[in-house]
Amino acid sequence: MRDTEKVGHKKLVTAAIVFAVLFTAISVYSYLSPYAYFASSDTYRDYYTVQAYLIQNKQIDQDRLYSHQPLLYYYTTIVHRLTNISVFDLMRIVLPIIFSVSLLFFYLFYRELFKNEFIALTGAFMTVIGEQFFYELFQTRPQIFSLVICPLVLWAYCKLYKQPSSWITLSLLIALITALSLTHVFGVLVSIIVLGCLALRYLFTYKRYWQWISIGMLSIILYMITLGRNTLLASVTIMFLTIYNQNNTDLLDGIGLTLRNTLSYLGFFFTMIIAVGGIVLIIDRFRTSGRAVIPTLLILPSCLLFLFGLTMTWLGPVLGYAVILPTRMLVYLWIGAVPLLLYYLQRLPKKILRFSIIGCLLITTGFIKQDADITDLGYILGNETNVLQYITEHNITNSVILTQATSYPLFILLPSELNNVVISNRLFGTINAELDSSLTQRNTKLANEIFYADSAETAASAIEQLIALRSIDPTKPVYIAYSLVKSYNQQAWDSLGFRKQSLDGANLENFDDQKYFRLMFDNNDIKLWRYVPTD
Amino acid sequence: MSLQTDLNSIFAITYLTIGIVYGLFLYGFSWTWAMYPQTNELPWLDRCIISFGISLTLQPLIIYLLHVTILLAPSLEGVWFIDLTTTVITIIVYAVRRQSLHHRS
CA dist., res. A228 & res. A233, Å (int) = 9
Question: What was the pLDDT predicted at B44?
Answer: 86
Element (H, E) at A519: strand A517-522
Instruction: Report chain A residues whose CB lies below 8 A from the CB of B36.
Output: 168
**Whose CA is closest to A188, among A64, A66, A305, A327?**
A305
Considering only the beta carbons, identify the residue of B12, B23, B49 that sits closest to A78: B23
CA dist., res. A22 & res. B29, Å (int) = 27
* pLDDT range class, residue A38, cuts 50, 70, 90: low
CA dist., res. B20 & res. A502, Å (int) = 43
The CA distance from B102 to the nearest CA of chain A, in Å, is 18
Asked if residues A321 and A245 have their Cβ atoms less than 8 Å apart, the reply is yes
CA dist., res. A226 & res. A345, Å (int) = 37
Cβ distance B74 to A108 less than 8 Å, yes or no, reads no
Question: What was the pLDDT predicted at A419?
Answer: 52
Asked if residues A482 and A457 have their Cβ atoms less than 8 Å apart, the reply is no
CA dist., res. A344 & res. A237, Å (int) = 32
Q: Which amino acid is at A354?
A: R
The CA distance from B12 to the nearest CA of chain A, in Å, is 8
| Residue A501 included in any domain | yes
Show the CA angle centred on residue A149, arms to residues A145 and A152, nearest 5°.
165
Q: Is pLDDT at B91 greater than 70 in this prediction?
A: yes
What does DSSP assign to residue A480? E
How many separate domains does chain B show? 1
Instruction: Report chain B residues whose CB lies below 8 A from the CB of A20.
Output: none
| Residue A393 included in any domain | yes
**B76 contact A CB<8A:** yes
Cβ distance A179 to B76 less than 8 Å, yes or no, reads no
DSSP A287-304: HHTT---S-HHHHHHHHH
Q: Which amino acid is at B75?
A: S
Residue A51 to residues A73, A80, A137, A503: CA-CA distances in angstroms?
Answer: 9, 10, 22, 27
**How many contacts does A have with B, using Cβ atoms within 8 A?**
102
Bridge partners for A481 per DSSP: A528
CA dist., res. A190 & res. A305, Å (int) = 7
CA torsion through residues A311, A313, A318, A320, sign: positive
B35 → chain A, closest CA residue: A168
Asked if residues A293 and A114 have their Cβ atoms less than 8 Å apart, the reply is yes
User: Tens digit of pLDDT for each residue in A184-229?
Assistant: 777 877 888 888 888 888 777 666 666 666 666 666 666 555 555 4
Residue B95 to residues B36, B37, B65: CA-CA distances in angstroms?
Answer: 11, 9, 26
A9 → chain B, closest CA residue: B45
Cβ distance B57 to A179 less than 8 Å, yes or no, reads yes
pTM: predicted TM-score of the whole model, two decimal places:
0.69
Chain A positions with Cβ closer than 8 Å to B: 9, 12, 54, 57, 66, 70-72, 74-75, 77-79, 81-86, 88-89, 98, 101, 104-105, 107-108, 148-149, 152, 168-169, 171-172, 175-176, 178-179, 182
| Residue A69 included in any domain | no
CA dist., res. A432 & res. A435, Å (int) = 6
CA dist., res. A90 & res. B20, Å (int) = 12
Instruction: State the average pLDDT for chain A.
Output: 67
CA torsion through residues A400, A406, A407, A413, sign: positive
Question: C-alpha dihedral over A57, A63, A65, A70, to 10 degrees?
Answer: 150
How many separate domains does chain A show? 1
Instruction: Report chain A residues whose CB lies below 8 A from the CB of B67.
Output: 74
**Strand pairing class (A497-500; A491-494):** antiparallel
Element (H, E) at A192: helix A185-200
Question: What was the pLDDT predicted at B50?
Answer: 93
| Residue A457 included in any domain | yes
CA dist., res. A466 & res. A476, Å (int) = 13
Cβ distance A77 to B2 less than 8 Å, yes or no, reads no
Cβ distance A105 to B53 less than 8 Å, yes or no, reads yes
Cβ distance B35 to A168 less than 8 Å, yes or no, reads yes
Cβ distance A84 to B15 less than 8 Å, yes or no, reads yes
**B30 contact A CB<8A:** no
**Whose CA is closest to A80, among B10, B86, B62, B78?**
B78
User: Tens digit of pLDDT for each residue in B29-63?
Assistant: 999 999 888 888 888 888 999 999 999 999 999 99
Element (H, E) at A273: helix A259-288
| 3-state secondary structure at position A128 | helix
Give the domain range for residue B76: 3-104
Bridge partners for A427 per DSSP: none
Residues 6+ apart with CB under 8 A from A498: A327, A491, A492
ipTM of the complex: 0.90
Bridge partners for A478 per DSSP: A400, A531
Q: Which of A57-71, A163-177, A236-250, A454-468 shows the lowest per-residue confidence on average (mean pLDDT)?
A: A236-250
**B56 contact A CB<8A:** yes
Mutate to test the interface with B, among A51, A56, A67, A81 (most CBs of B within 10 A): A81
Cβ distance B19 to A84 less than 8 Å, yes or no, reads yes
Mutate to test the interface with A, among B2, B20, B49 (most CBs of A within 10 A): B49
Instruction: Report chain A residues whose CB lies below 8 A from the CB of B16.
Output: 83-85
Question: What was the pLDDT predicted at A532?
Answer: 86
Question: What was the pLDDT predicted at A13?
Answer: 63
* pLDDT range class, residue A277, cuts 50, 70, 90: low
Q: Which of A171-180, A337-346, A358-367 shows the lowest per-residue confidence on average (mean pLDDT)?
A: A358-367
Q: A281: burial class by Cβ within 10 Å (0-12, 13-18, 19+)?
A: exposed
Q: Is pLDDT at A521 greater than 70 in this prediction?
A: yes
Question: What was the pLDDT predicted at A343?
Answer: 77
**B47 contact A CB<8A:** no
CA dist., res. A72 & res. B99, Å (int) = 37
Question: What was the pLDDT predicted at A14?
Answer: 67
A178 → chain B, closest CA residue: B61
Instruction: Report chain A residues whose CB lies below 8 A from the CB of B46.
Output: 108
The CA distance from B19 to the nearest CA of chain A, in Å, is 4
Of A212 and A509, more confident: A509
**Whose CA is closest to A126, among A418, A361, A427, A362?**
A361
Cβ distance B79 to A89 less than 8 Å, yes or no, reads no
| Residue A39 included in any domain | no
Give the domain range for residue A505: 379-531
Question: What was the pLDDT predicted at A157?
Answer: 93
Percentage of residues in chain A having pLDDT higher than 70: 48
**B77 contact A CB<8A:** no
**B50 contact A CB<8A:** yes
